[in-house]
Amino acid sequence: MSTTSGKAQRHSQFVGQDKPRRNAIRHAHGRGRFVDDIAFGNLAHLAFLRSPYAHAEILEIDTEAARALPGVVDVFTGPDLVDICTPWVGKLDHFSGLRTPEQYPLAMERARWNGEPVVAVVAESRAIAEDALDLIMVEWAELPAIIGIDNSRSTNGPILHPQYDSNVAFVMNLTAGDAKAAFRDAAYIVEDTLELGRQTGLTLEPRSIVADFDPSLRKLTAYHSTQTPYQMQDVFVRHFNLSEENVRVISPDVGGSFGMKLHVYGEEMAAVAASIRLGRPVKFIADRMESFLSDIHLREHKVHARMALNSGGEILAMEVDDATGIGPFSVYPRTSAMEGNQALRLMGAPYKMPHYDGTLTVLFQNKAPTCQYRAVGHPIGVTVTEHLVDLAAKAVGLNPFEIRRRNIVTQDMYPHTTATGYILERLSHEECLAKLEALMDYPKLIAEQKEMRERGIYRGIGIAAFIEITNPGPAFYGIGGARISSQDGCVIKLEPSGKIRVSVSVTEQGQGTETIMAQVAATYLGVDLDHVDVVTGDTERTPYGGATWASRGAGIGGATVMKAALAMKENILEIAGVILQGEADDFDLVDGQIVDRSNQQVRMSLAEIGRIAYFRPDTLPQDYHPQLSVSRHFVPQGTPFDFTNGVQASYLEVDVETGIVKLLNHWVVEDCGIILNQQLVDEQIRGGVVHGLGGVLFEECLYSENGQMMSATMADYLAPLASEMPDIQIDHVCTPTEMTPLGAKGVGEAGTAAAGAVVLNAVNDALRPLGGTLRTTPLTPERILKALGKI
C-alpha cells in the first residue's frame, strides 16, 4: 500500500493530459448546447474531482482553499449527501444471488475506478469550478487494482469489496437436454476461447443535466439527456424523497444514446443533490474525457465454448463458459448482469440445437462500470456461435452456407423454443439465407477469392445468422422488481386549427421516433403528415411509458399511437355525423377532409370541425359533447419478447504485411416484420453495422496494469471513419408479428448484432491458408501480425 497526497495526483486523473490541454477542453465544453444558460437565472456549474487511482482509500480531503476561491458556490463530498440522497443497489429479483454494494453519488471511503467522482464543486462558471478542483488536497492510500478477467477470477488475488469472499458478483447456469451425452456421442467437436474487448458509447452529445429545484414548492425540474424520462422521474422521486407530481423530467431531442443513457450516474444524481442543497439550477455536461472515464462501458467477455455435431454436420449441443467484467458495481436500475444473461441465452439461438450447458460468471473489477448498450449481449452470443459454426464447417467439410442451411430452424418448427429458453413466434432464417446467397453472388466471390490468393492477395468471406430481441414485454424488468414501464401511452388531440397533436411516451434520440409516430398517426387517422405535431420527452406533457430502448419504439410506441389514432378517427367521424346529420359510418377521413364514404365527395375539413366543436358547440344538439382528444395505452402480450432475425455477410481483404483490414462489402438481409419506413429501417441497420464494425476492428478501452485508462481521448480511442466503411447492401424479408397490431418488430440493434461476427469469420477465412486465427477483438493490425507469427 502506498500513501500519496497533493496536487500532482489530481492532474493524473485525466490520463496524462497537460494543464493547457485540460483548460482548452473545459472552456470548449463549459457551455454545452443542451440548455442555453441564458434561459436560467442564477445558473451554477458543476465539476468533479475524480480518482486518479483505480483503487484507493480516501484518507483525508481538504477543500478549504477551494471554498475560498471567488466564484465558488459550494464544495461537497460523498458523506455530505447522505441526508439528501438515499443510496441505490443495482439488483433484479430474477437474478437471484446477484450481489453488489450500495452506491452513492460520490465515492465513499474508497475510490474503485480511475475516474470515479470523489468531490464536487459548484461555481458560477465551469472554468471557476475546475480551477477550484486544483486547490483540493486529497490524501490517498493506493490499493491493489483488479483489472483483467483472469485477475478477477483468481482465488489468490485481492478482493475489491471486503464484505464479500470473492470478486464474483453473480453466477448463472443454464442447461437443456443432456449436453454431456451429446458430446460423448458426437462425431465432431470444435472448441475455442474468444476474448471480446471493452468498448464505450461515444455519443455525439455527452451526458448532460440541468437540475432546477424550487425549495418553495419542493419541485424539481430536470432537463436531462436521457432515454427514459419516466424512469428517471421515478429515481429522483424515490432517492430524493420528493413527490411524483413535483418532479418533471424534460428530455428534448437527445444527441445519441445507444443504451448508454438508460442508467443512473453519480454525477447526475450529484447535480440534483446540489440543486436541492442550493435552491438554484445546477448544470453538468460531461466533457469528452470525462465521458471516456465515467460513461458505462460494455462487452468485456472471455468465453470458452464447445460445439458437438453428428456425422451429417447437425449441431447437437453447445457448452459455454462466459466470464464478464462489470467494474466495481452492478449498475442501477437495470443491473450489469443483463448483458451476460442475454449473451448466454443467444448462443446457438438460430439453430435447432437440442442440448445446451452454459455458465455465466459476472466479476467485479477496478474499471468503469459496464451495463446495457446497443444490442445487449447480442455480439457476444452471435460471435461465439458463428465462430464455432465456421470451425465446424471446416471440420465436417461443408461450406459456410451449407452447414447453416442444415441447422437453422425451419418454418415447420415454429413456434419454436430455443435450447436456452427463448420462445420464437416465427422467424425466417431460411428465406434470409437464400436471399443473402443470391444478393452477394457467393459463387462469384469464391472464384474471385481463389484468384486473388493465387496472386498473393488474401480476401475473406464471413457470414453469420442472428436474432435480435425487440418489443420486450412485462416479464423483462417488472418481474424483477424494477420500476421500468413495459407499456407506452399516447394522447391525440384535435386542435381548433384542424391540426393533430400527438403526445407519446417514446422518446427521440436521433433514430426517427417522432417521424414514425407522426407517420402512424397520419396513416390511421387519414390526414397529411405535415398536419401532425408530435410531442415526446416530457413527463408533464406526455403520458407515462417505457420510452425508447431495446428496439421497442416502433413496435410498442407505434402500436400505442395506432390505437389512439383509430379512436380519435372514430370521434372525429362521430362529430362529422352530428354536424352533417348523418351516421358516423356514412363518412370517412381522407387527406384531412371529411368525405362521403359512398362517393368520396368532400363534405368538410378538419379545420371546420375544430371551429364548430371548440367555438360553436351551441350549434350542436344540446346533450352532445364532442370528444376532441383520446388517450390509449398499449402493452405487448404473448411471449416475453419479439424477435427480429436475419443474416449478414462480409467480404474483406487483409494486408498480411501490415495487418490492416480493408472492408470491401457488407450485406444484411433482415426481417423486422412490417416495415413502417424503409429509409429509417435501412439507415438504422447501416448505423448498427457501423457500430459493430467499430467494435470488431477499432474500439477498445485499454487499461494499464494498475488500472489507468490508456485510451481516454479521441486520439487514442479509435472510432470508425466513413472512409473506412464499406458499402452496406440491405434487403428484407417480411414476417409480421402477432404480438402488436402494427405487425412491426424492432430493428435498431440488428446491424450491431452480427457485424462483428461476420468480420471475425471473414478475417479468419482470409488468413486460413497462412495458418492464422484471430480470437481477440478488436482485430488490430498488431494482433493480426502476431497471429501470422510476424511479430
Please state the CATH superfamily assignment of the domain spanning residues 35-143+202-294 in this structure. Answer: Aldehyde oxidase/xanthine dehydrogenase, a/b hammerhead (3.90.1170.50)
Measured CA to CA, the distance from residue 744 to residue 634 in angstroms comes to 14
- Report residue 669 as a C-alpha cell: 438481409
- pLDDT for the residue 20: 32
What is the per-residue pLDDT across 525-538, written as a single tens digit (0 to 9) for each? 999 999 999 999 99
Distance CA 670, CA 692 (A): 16
- CATH no., domain 3-32+487-634: 3.30.365.10
Here the cell at position 378 is 447480442
For residue 735, how many C-alpha atoms fall within 13 Å in the half-sphere facing its CB? 21
If DSSP codes are grouped into helix, strand and coil, which group holds residue 447? helix
CATH class held by domain 376-465+641-787 = alpha beta
Query: Per the structure block, which three cell numbers stand in for 379?
Result: 455480439
Give the count of beta carbons closer than 10 Å to the beta carbon of residue 723.
Answer: 5
**Spatial CA neighbour of 747 closest among 646, 652, 667, 654:** 646
The CB-based long-range contact list for 611-620 (8 Å cut-off, 24+ gap) reads 611/496, 612/575, 612/579, 613/494, 613/575, 614/496, 615/496, 620/578, 620/579
C-alpha dihedral (754, 756, 762, 764), degrees to nearest 10: -130
Residue 617, preceding peptide bond in cis (omega within 30° of 0): no
> For the chain, what are the domain ranges?
3-32+487-634, 35-143+202-294, 376-465+641-787
pLDDT tens-digit profile of 42-62? Answer: 999 999 999 999 999 999 999
Q: Give the C-alpha separation, 732 to 755, whole Å.
A: 17
Average pLDDT per block of 10 residues along the chain, 791 residues long: 40 36 32 53 96 98 98 98 98 95 98 98 98 98 97 93 97 98 98 97 96 98 97 98 98 93 98 98 97 97 98 98 98 97 98 98 98 97 98 98 98 96 96 98 98 98 97 84 93 97 96 96 97 97 95 95 98 97 96 96 97 96 96 89 96 98 98 97 98 98 97 96 96 96 96 98 98 98 98 91
Structure-block grid coordinates of residue 319:
457448452
pLDDT of res. 4: 44
**What pLDDT is recorded for position 17?**
36
pLDDT on residue 638: 77
pTM for the predicted model, two decimal places: 0.94
pLDDT of residue 478: 80
pLDDT tens digit sequence for 222-274 = 999 999 999 999 999 999 999 999 999 999 899 999 999 999 999 999 999 99
Domain 3-32+487-634 and domain 376-465+641-787 have a common topology: yes
| Cβ neighbours for 29, distance < 8 A, ≥ 6 positions apart | 126, 206, 285, 286, 287, 288
Identify the bridge partners of residue 171 per DSSP, sorted by sequence position.
361
